[in-house]
A and B are shown apart, each in its own frame.
Chain A
Amino acid sequence: MIEMKPGDWLVLIFSLLLIPLSWSLIDHPSAETSAIEITVADASPTTYSIKQQTQINVAGELGHSVIEIRDGKVRFTNSPCSGKVCILSGWHQHSGDHIVCLPNRVSISLLAEQDRFDGINF
């Protein structure tokens, strides 16, 4: 058994105090969705904050898709495709998720500083 001297105790206490201090110093990224990326075909994506209320018109390969952002969620509200699968999929809010209109080649990716999910299965 190692005998602890007063100085050892001091070091131990100092070290324990370092733990919460170092934790608070680390930058903890948020898992909450903060932005969306809209991509048309293979062009570079455009990023929008999800903390706004707006409608975005996007020119895709078939015509204009309309994307609505509201209350931290996003959805397609209009699309020139015939199936309207993108609209029917409704609101999306989880980071790591994607909404895609394949015929119009428009995709929306939901992003967070640190994704809660790395991908969404469906």
Chain B
Amino acid sequence: MRCLQTSLFILALVVLLAACEKQNLNRYQSFAFGTLIEIKIRSDDKALADRASASLFSDFDEMHSDWHAWEAGKLTQTSAMLATGEWFTADKAVQDIIKLSKQYSLRSNGLFNPAIGELIQAWGFQASELPRLPPTEAKIDSLLADLPAVLDIDIDGDKMRGRNPHLKLDLGAIAKGYAVSAGINKLRDQGLNHALINAGGDLCGIGNQGERPWRIGIRNPSGEGIMASIELENEECVFTSGDYERYYNHNGKRYHHIIDPRSGYPADKVTSVTVLHLDGAIADAASTALFIAGPDGWQEIAKKMGVRDVMMVDKQGRIIMSPSMHKRIKFEPAVDETSVIITDP
């Protein structure tokens, strides 16, 4: 009799375990924010996931339009008002992100500087199509002579004023991170606790994939294929800044879109910087700031920005990373791990 009871118990257990099937994975994609955005939501409530993803795409479209650096909108209006030097009431759509940008700029020693729209425009990266020629040295020198910083913006409640007539905002190094984190928060508020948002190769996740955490492959910056992978913890973002994202070649030299505000030229010390952080806006801004800082100066900036998990690939292909990142990263077999340099932030 006891035998029969035990058998029934085990059979019931097997049946119950078999019933533990994971929730459905709903996948959506759309062109928004100037890139391809993919949203994965793990939920059995497909109608809710459908509504939530449509709402996020609509939010991303609105943010993209509000924060566009060169097409007429709320950000270009704000830039124009800042250039006058007069106090004005800033549009709510741009207030928070400008306040946040000031904080991050201060913490990055000015390497994250979203006020250098004129310099970025001179390099030709404020256009849908890539430029063909770099600006002249004289042009860069003239822009550097009175280069604005986002700290040149005074803020008093909802009022702002600029203290440099050349202030021209370009939120390209923070907007996507801010938006994707906001998207994750919105999904969580609707009770969707397992989701991954991929905005053109920068990702934030919440919860897990079902049987395992969300697993992200990190593309090799020097060519095709994947160099490593990482599994995201409950709520985490992974952002990479690389010299291969937007660039053009002129006379055999590559000119990319990450401009060092100190020199006025594209930062040239590393090929890519990957940052893990629970906040997408910080991950985005920090990956740019650390890219500009390079292998010799990144530790101080990372510490000030509150970033621990950093991986950098330098021009020689060496991988430099913080100990905490080294614990999280799983390299692909093709990567020579003996070339990895682990250094404290």
Interface size on A, residues (CB 8 A): 38
Which A75-98 residues sit within 8 Å CB-CB of chain B? 81-83, 85, 89-94, 96-98
Task: Describe B's contact surface by its main secondary structure.
Answer: strand
A121 and B274 contact, Cβ closer than 8 Å, known pairs A85-B246, A103-B129, A107-B29: yes
Quick one: closest A residue to B232, CB to CB?
A: A118
Pick from B152-160, B169-177, B222-230 the stretch touching chain A. Answer: B222-230
B315 interface residue (CB < 8 Å to A)? no
Q: Number of contact residues on B: which range applies?
A: 35 or more
Residues of B within 8 A of A11 (CB): 3, 6-7, 10
A94 and B246 contact, Cβ closer than 8 Å, known pairs A117-B216, A118-B215, A121-B219: no
B306 interface residue (CB < 8 Å to A)? no
A90 to B222, CA, bound (A): 11
**CB–CB A117/B34 < 8 A:** no
With beta carbons under 8 angstroms apart, the residue of A41, A92, A98, A122 that contacts B240 is: A122
Residues of A within 8 A of B38 (CB): 98, 109, 119
A53 interface residue (CB < 8 Å to B)? no
A18 interface residue (CB < 8 Å to B)? yes
Q: A10-B3, A85-B246, A118-B214 are in contact. List 7 more A-B contacts (CB 8 A).
A: A11-B10, A15-B10, A18-B14, A109-B29, A117-B229, A120-B201, A122-B201
B-side interface residues toward A, CB under 8 Å? 2-3, 6-7, 10, 14, 18, 29-31, 34-36, 38, 40, 128-130, 196, 198, 200-203, 205, 209, 214-219, 221, 223-226, 229-230, 238-240, 242, 244-246, 248, 274
